[in-house]
Amino acid sequence: MRDASDFLREAGFGDARIEPLPSDASFRHYARLRGGPRPAMLMDAPPPEDVRPFVAIGRHIAGLSLSAPEIMAADEARGFLIIEDFGDATHASLLDAGADPLPLYLEAAEALAALHAAPPPAGLPPWGPTRMSETAAATFLDWWWPAAMGAEPDAETRAHCDAAIRGMLAPFADAGGFVHRDFFPANLMRLADRSGPRRTGLLDFQDAAVGHPAYDLVSLVEDARRDVAPTVRRAAIERYLYARGDVDRDAFAAAMAVCAAQRHLRVAALWVRLALRDGKPRYLVHGPRCWRLLAAALEHPATRPLRDFLDARVPPRLRCNPVAVTEPA
């Protein structure tokens, strides 16, 4: 974490004690500020991170009467924020401690439905076929493929993969909804003193975009980092769809399948990139789950373009973590 003493002093937190929190797979770092004028967190987001989307989207979420951390001070040029401290009760930590998952997933689904019910703010980037194909290629073709196949993919393979992903997603490209993009338990907080959709605190929304809202529901109920019981999955989906009463359920199920196929392919390969490029092999443990979820998504007819590509280019025995990449002992 970078030296933020000047920023903290100017914001009135010069006497606060900085307690860094464990970092994840991103470039951002967080620290709890103790002894300041009020409970708060310091966000350190050095380049290539940019805190301006976090600030803008946080204000949008708060304007919907949902729970995003209040921004107490900002140095957008340097990438420092002081934000409201929601505490330690992430949905992930509660689940890890043995909490009943059903209430947490129902609360999350209720908050997500409220988030999606409103038009997205202006200026968000697109999260549609083009960008989703690019991000999948950036992990699957650029990192997983050389590790699994022993060579870079040729131009024909790249073109075939791009056409498959775009073709699969094209029927759902005009949804135009708000997409959080990282809506899963590690980024959700249980705020016990709030009620309704505000009971779920939202974090890490800075990469939000405009696309199909099914992507966020997939992120929640088909979590890349933890198993979700089928009964909990069904209940969360039902709670979401009930709250969004005007949704065509069959079309939404198809959209969930294609978003799931893209996401699970991209994230299964992301763990390989984290291991090889960033020296973080601990994430490889999630690879088998992502490949299983991908296989399930490919059973839906809407995902046929990607299924046909994989059937032609990637034998089932290779749909796993590459043998050349090992998990930590």
Nearest C-alpha neighbor of 103 from the set 121, 85, 89, 82 = 89
Which residues have C-beta within 8 Å of that of residue 110, sequence separation ≥ 6? 196, 197, 200, 239, 240, 243
- From first to last of the 329 residues of the chain, give the pLDDT tens digit: 899 999 999 999 999 999 999 876 567 899 999 999 999 999 999 988 899 999 999 999 999 999 999 999 999 999 999 999 999 999 999 999 999 999 999 999 999 999 999 999 999 999 999 999 999 999 999 999 999 999 999 999 999 999 999 999 999 999 999 999 999 999 999 999 999 999 999 999 999 999 999 999 999 999 999 999 999 999 999 999 999 998 999 999 999 999 999 999 999 999 999 999 999 999 999 999 999 999 999 999 999 999 999 999 999 999 999 998 887 76
Residue 80 sits in the same domain as residue 97: no
Q: Is omega for the bond preceding 120 within 30 degrees of 0, making it cis?
A: no
Give residue 22's domain range: 5-84
> Rounded to two decimals, what is the model's pTM?
0.93
Residue at 261 is within a domain:
yes
Q: What is the pLDDT of residues 137-181, one digit of tens each?
A: 999 999 999 999 999 999 999 999 999 999 999 999 999 999 999
Q: Indicate whether 165 and 64 sit together in one domain.
A: no
pLDDT of residue 27: 78
141 in the same domain as 261: yes
Structural domain count, the chain: 2
| Same structural domain, 56 and 97 | no
Q: Which helix (H) or strand (E) holds 221?
A: helix 214-221
Taking the C-alpha atoms of residue 98 and residue 120, their distance in angstroms, rounded to an integer, is 35
- Domain C-terminal end among 68, 84, 100: 84
Which CATH number does the domain housing residue 273 bear? 3.90.1200.10
